[in-house]
Amino acid sequence: MAEEITKTGTEQQEQTPTPQPKDHEQQETPTVEELMAQLAAERAEKEKYKTANDKLSKEAATTKRQLRAKQTAEEQEAEAQAEAQRLAEEEREQLRKENNRFKAMAAYKSFDEKTVDKWLEAVSEADHATLASMIEAEKQKAVKEAQAEWMKSRPPVNTGQYSSMTKEQIREIKDRDELRKAIAQNLDLFK
């Protein structure tokens, strides 16, 4: 095989014509008109490629702009949906709080609104110290109310000579010192 390559290379050298003298060079040299025609053809081909390149560049730019606009529109839509979802969640949370407040008001009818609000806030924050102090305060308040109610329901204690008198009877007393003693023993009549 090496012999074939050598023969082929040798045969090619033999077949290649050797340069001729200047007559032959003049025949291969193109004329000015031929060069001008080649130049015009090259320019036309260059213009054709330039036009095609410009057209493709414009299409690519238009496609990019459309893609960006589409992405922006999608992003805006996604942002609007996220905002709507956030607002809906805030509204649900507000309604939950309000519902819990109404439930607490119904459950703790004896509490005033401020106490219920404080109670709900302490529960939501898991503030056990505040809850304990509020429970203790409510117990003390209930005890004081019960004592006051009991004191009202109790019959008056007959400790003095004027304790069983009516308001009109007390007013009929002429002696000033005796009148004062009678009023002091029956203050509940003069309130």
**Separation of CA 173 from chain center:** 79
pLDDT at 12: 47
pLDDT at 26: 55
pTM above 0.85? no
**Separation of CA 23 from chain center:** 90
Give the burial string for 22-58 (b: 16+ CB within 10 Å, else e): eeeeeeeeeeeeeeeeeeeeeeeeeeeeeeeeeeeee
Alpha-carbon torsion, ordered 153, 154, 156, 158, to 10 deg: 160
CA distance 39 to 33: 10
Residue with tokens 């053809």: 41
CA distance 114 to 134: 12
pLDDT at 1: 46
pLDDT at 15: 53
CB-based contact 186:162 (threshold 8 Å): yes
pLDDT at 58: 94
Stretches in the chain below the pLDDT threshold 50: 1-3, 10, 12-14
pLDDT at 80: 85
